[in-house]
Amino acid sequence: MVAADPRRAIPSTDRLLALPEVQATKTRLAPHVIRRVITEAQNDARHGELAPDDVAPTIINRLSALSPTRLSSVLNATGVIIHTNLGRAPLSDAAREALMTAAGYVDLELDLRDGKRSKRGMWAKAALLSAVPDAEDALVVNNGAAALSLATTVLSVALDMPEMVISRGELVEIGAGFRLPDLMVSTGVELVEVGMTNRTNLDDYRNAITERTGAILKVHPSNYWIGGFNSAVEIKELAQLAHEHNLPLIVDVGSGLVDADDVLTDEPTMSAALRDGADVVIASGDKLLGGPQAGILLGKTEIIQRLAKHPLARAFRADKFTLAALEATLNSPSTPIHDALHADSKSLRERSERVAQELGAEVVAHDGRVGGGGGAGVPLPGWAISLPESYASALRTGSPAILPRVADGRCLVDLRCVPAEQDKILMVRLREVANEVAS
């Protein structure tokens, strides 16, 4: 007598869908997501990886643990403030509240006083002009690359003056192999490279200007620095040269610092670039500014209005969430980025020692970093809890996920970017990992 195929005992899809626990998940998960979880469990059973009797309990457990998003909240214990792999700038409480407001119907392009259509993003624009009063006008697009593409296209290619003069020392490659020169060339710009990698002078720019020159571009090499025998031309000098030839000067300051900061003395600011004569200043919103991903363009009214009217401005348009979070960031007294940058070293050490004492671990000196293409080479003196390297994987894959730094065979937990109110949660997780490692 042939034994019955055990796979026949696998519950049918209709039977599994009818389970009360499965029905209850319909309020937070889409039908196709629920069916996918059911199918996966059934396939596990068909392949002998799951007993038929365990299919229903497994589905219930998987659905209960499933969220509509696969993103995981992470405690950043690396000491790197603007961590690109962790989404760059964490938003302030005010910006998070603004996102919740923007999630519903909002007066994005409506004047509630008369019920007529209004201009998009006017409140974010007003916040920018209030924070950077040296700017005559402002425009927000969806990221820094879009801002640069728009500026180079409108001020050069669209005028049939495709040449753009730039120093060889400023041909920047940012993360994941993305090169700004490639971006600009893709818009139709013809880059005219001047000077040497380490030295560029004003005559290099002057001698490169022709009747086909559309603009002069200066880019802050934010993720590297050139030392030793080097020189670069200041914005004031470039502005004077550009205006002598009736050319616009575009300055990409990169990280979005509004005003001078005593921790980052060499970091260019939007305000200073405008005061020094730049016609358009470009910056990112999700770096030192501490806001959402956005491309910020500040400058002369005539030029900003030309940018805003170009068809590409619509393609690069920022959404309501970006505009709401950016406005709230600019109107807030501080941001998590600013707080981490200016964290008190003594306080960091005291917090670290309290955690380390509970674990019998050692606290070591550890320099944090700005990250995100800002403050290149600037150390941020601080402290870290030194643990065995084996802790790192367990910390990353647990709940909540904690990302430490692994260096020299040690797992280093730096509290610079961990809010103090999260210390207890961090401690609980570290104890759990210590027990796992010990067993």
pLDDT tens-digit map of 92-118: 999 999 999 999 999 999 999 999 999
The whole-angstrom separation of Cα 45 and Cα 48 is: 5
Q: What percent of the chain has pLDDT over 90?
A: 90
Strand order in the sheet with 249-254: 137-141, 295-299, 280-284, 249-254, 213-219, 163-167, 190-194
Q: Looking at this protein, which amino acid is placed at residue 79?
A: G
Mean pLDDT across 176-189: 89
302 class by beta-carbon count within 10 Å (0-12 exposed, 13-18 middle, 19+ buried):
exposed
Residue 5 — pLDDT band, cuts 50, 70, 90? confident
Three-class SS string for 205-241? HHHHCCCCEEEEEEECCCCCCCCCCCECCCHHHHHHH
**pLDDT tens-place string over residues 26-85:** 999 999 999 999 999 999 999 999 999 999 999 999 999 999 999 999 999 999 999 999
State the chain's mean pLDDT as an integer.
95
Q: How much is the CA Rg of the chain, to the nearest whole Å?
A: 27
pLDDT, one tens digit per residue, over 324-345 is 999 999 999 999 999 999 999 9
Average pLDDT value for residue range 355-367 = 95
Across the range 249-277, mean pLDDT stands at 95
Three-state DSSP state, 439 = coil
Q: Flag the least confident range among 7-11, 145-149, 207-211.
A: 7-11
8 Å CB contact between 282 and 297: yes
Q: Give residue 117's pLDDT.
A: 95
DSSP string, 84-111: GGGTSSPPPHHHHHHHHHHTS---TTEE
The answer to whether the bond into 268 is cis (omega within 30° of 0) is: no
Distance between terminal CA atoms of the chain?
A: 48
The arithmetic mean of pLDDT across residues 356-384, rounded, is: 93
Q: 198-253, pLDDT tens digit by residue?
A: 999 999 999 999 999 999 999 998 788 888 999 999 999 999 999 999 999 999 99
Higher-confidence position of 374 and 140:
140
Instruction: Report CA-CA distances (Å) from 319 to 297, 305, 326, 389.
Output: 16, 19, 11, 42
Return the closest-CA partner of residue 69 out of 30, 122, 113: 30
**What percent of the chain shows pLDDT beyond 70?**
99
pLDDT category at 4 given cuts 50, 70, 90 is: low
User: How many beta carbons lie within 10 A of that of residue 399, not counting itself?
Assistant: 10
Least reliable range by pLDDT among 147-156, 169-178, 192-201, 213-222: 169-178
Give residue 158's pLDDT band: very low, low, confident or very high (50, 70, 90): confident
pLDDT tens per residue, range 123-137: 999 999 999 999 999
Please report which confidence band the pLDDT of residue 1 belongs to, taking 50, 70 and 90 as the band edges: very low
| pLDDT tier for residue 176 given thresholds of 50, 70 and 90 | confident
